[in-house]
A = this chain, B = another copy of it.
Amino acid sequence: MAQLRGFASAAAQGADIPEVVCFEKQSQWGGQWNFTWRTGMDEHSEPVHSSMYRHLWSNGPKECLEFADYSFDEHFGRPISSYPPRAVLWDYINGRVEGTGLRDWVRFSTAVRTVTPHPISGFLVTSEHLPSQSESTEHFDDVVVATGHFSFPHVPAFEGIESFPGPVMHAHDFRGAEELADKDVLVIGSSYSAEDIGIQAHKLGAASVVFSYRTEPMGFGWPASLEEWPLVRRFQGRTAYFRDGRTRGFDAVILATGYRHHFPFLPQELRLRTANTLYPDRLYKGVAAEETPHLYFLGMQDQWFTFNMFDAQAWLVRDMILDRFAIPAAEVRRRDIQRWLNRMHAIETVREDVEFQADYIRDLIELTDYPMFDLDAVVEIFLEWKHDKQADILTYRDRCYRSVMTQTEAVPHHTPWIEALDDSSAAYLSTAEVPVA
């Protein structure tokens, strides 16, 4: 959507833009934000893309992801809280593109199957229209890969897990915590998915949650029934054996063990191979494939910033495609990438981590005409957010921030997050929570 909007913005300013075709395998746009109740495979036997779930609310303040060219105020017409639920964020990102004619550029329900470099120039893209199962191959001069990287689960095996007598699922397949009520839950992992699924379980009545970390614990001030233990070594029946010698029985296991950057539609040599990191190697300006001209990737970074970073990337990619931004020679590209990698490797504090990504975005915006915004102010919001979470992991979503785009102060939601059990737009936008059926 960012890339489409980038081209639309240039077109609105009178630029001559090429034909743009966006292939989207779902029947609606919104990516991760386009929730589905399905798990595993969808109605066309395609892997389900979204990893989101019922009761997923933004886990960062919306003031950090606001678009610089489409504010929350413009969309909602009034201040809202800082941590809206998924449906409300979908509404916001949809609002920027719906009704603008951009749907005509999208082929929905169409999955890209293969992208192969054309022997002379450009790429042959083979796609399948899923409802009709009909395939077609077309030539494109440039290819922008914007398929996300939180959809293909990384699922490590643990000895004995195959006979654990209860649900074992990766965060990707988690669709809601209601089924964890009264259960003793083991969550493996110590990042955002672990944290949020753990507190979702708590919110919806789990008897206990043990988080099991590989590298380090999250260290929040958990309520008494939530604890952090070292990594599981093995399972026997419902009992987990931990590295520190402790054992405990569980009713359910959630593997919040992250995702794989995976591009099954690309030939091996064009696949981006990277861990989840702030600066994947071999992408000039974080977007242009270092060794393959005319191949671009959006959003492949680990994410403090999201929507507005994707925008800045998309605007620059647009300018690369339109030859408004001249891609320099190979050595210059390598030096630029290396400079960012060196800086990344030297990061020691959370502040440096966030500032790194802010500076990266600043660099992008300076190279294109995406509206510059107060990135330093956003860094401060991120740091305050970290602080809020340390202070109280169960109430941080009740805090309010001020927009750096419009200076609007968010207003508290009518219901504290821990009590909010209706995550629909209607309930959120009403003046008081609608009772759940």
A130 to chain B, nearest CB (A): 10
A268–B153 CB distance below 8 A: no
Chain B residues near A39 (CB-CB < 8 A): 39-40, 168-169, 173
Q: Which residue of B lies closest to A259 (CB)?
A: B45
The 9 closest A-B pairs by CB, nearest first: A237-B437, A37-B162, A45-B152, A165-B178, A40-B40, A40-B173, A167-B179, A45-B262, A166-B179
Assuming the contacts A153-B40, A153-B45, A437-B237, asked whether A35 and B162 have C-beta atoms less than 8 A apart, the reply is: yes
A133–B271 CB distance below 8 A: yes
Interface hub of A162, A252, A436 (most chain B Cβ within 10 A): A162
B134–A40 CB distance below 8 A: no
A202 part of interface (Cβ distance < 8 Å): no
Copies assembled: 2
B437–A236 CB distance below 8 A: yes
A268–B133 CB distance below 8 A: yes
Chain B residues near A267 (CB-CB < 8 A): 135
A161 part of interface (Cβ distance < 8 Å): yes
A112 to chain B, nearest CB (A): 13
In the complex, A179→B252 CA distance in Å? 8
For window 215-268 of chain A, which residues contact chain B by CB distance below 8 Å?
236-237, 239, 251-252, 260, 262, 264, 267-268
A429 part of interface (Cβ distance < 8 Å): no
B45–A260 CB distance below 8 A: yes
A41 part of interface (Cβ distance < 8 Å): yes
Interface hub of A38, A169, A271 (most chain B Cβ within 10 A): A38
A147 to chain B, nearest CB (A): 12
B163–A167 CB distance below 8 A: no
For window 141-164 of chain A, which residues contact chain B by CB distance below 8 Å?
152-153, 155, 157, 161-164
Per-residue CB proximity of A319-350 to B under 8 Å, as 1/0? 00000000000000000000000000000000
Sample (14) of A-B pairs whose CB atoms are under 8 Å apart:
A37-B162, A39-B40, A39-B173, A40-B40, A40-B47, A41-B152, A45-B153, A45-B262, A47-B47, A134-B268, A135-B267, A165-B176, A166-B179, A237-B436
Interface hub of A45, A260, A267 (most chain B Cβ within 10 A): A45
Per-residue CB proximity of A161-188 to B under 8 Å, as 1/0? 1111111111011011011000000000
Q: How many residues of A contact B (CB 8 A)?
A: 50
A19 part of interface (Cβ distance < 8 Å): no
A299 to chain B, nearest CB (A): 18
Chain B residues near A268 (CB-CB < 8 A): 133-135
A43 part of interface (Cβ distance < 8 Å): yes
Assuming the contacts A40-B47, A155-B38, A262-B45, asked whether A167 and B167 have C-beta atoms less than 8 A apart, the reply is: yes
In the complex, A157→B38 CA distance in Å? 9
A71 part of interface (Cβ distance < 8 Å): no
A54 part of interface (Cβ distance < 8 Å): yes
Q: Which residue of B lies closest to A178 (CB)?
A: B165
A36 part of interface (Cβ distance < 8 Å): yes
Partner of A175, one of B38, B167, B236: B167
Partner of A37, one of B161, B172, B264: B161
Q: Which residue of B lies closest to A262 (CB)?
A: B45
Chain B residues near A40 (CB-CB < 8 A): 39-41, 47-48, 153, 169-170, 172-173
Assuming the contacts A152-B41, A260-B45, asked whether A54 and B165 have C-beta atoms less than 8 A apart, the reply is: yes
Q: Which residue of B lies closest to A172 (CB)?
A: B40
Chain B residues near A170 (CB-CB < 8 A): 40
Partner of A178, one of B36, B166, B169: B166
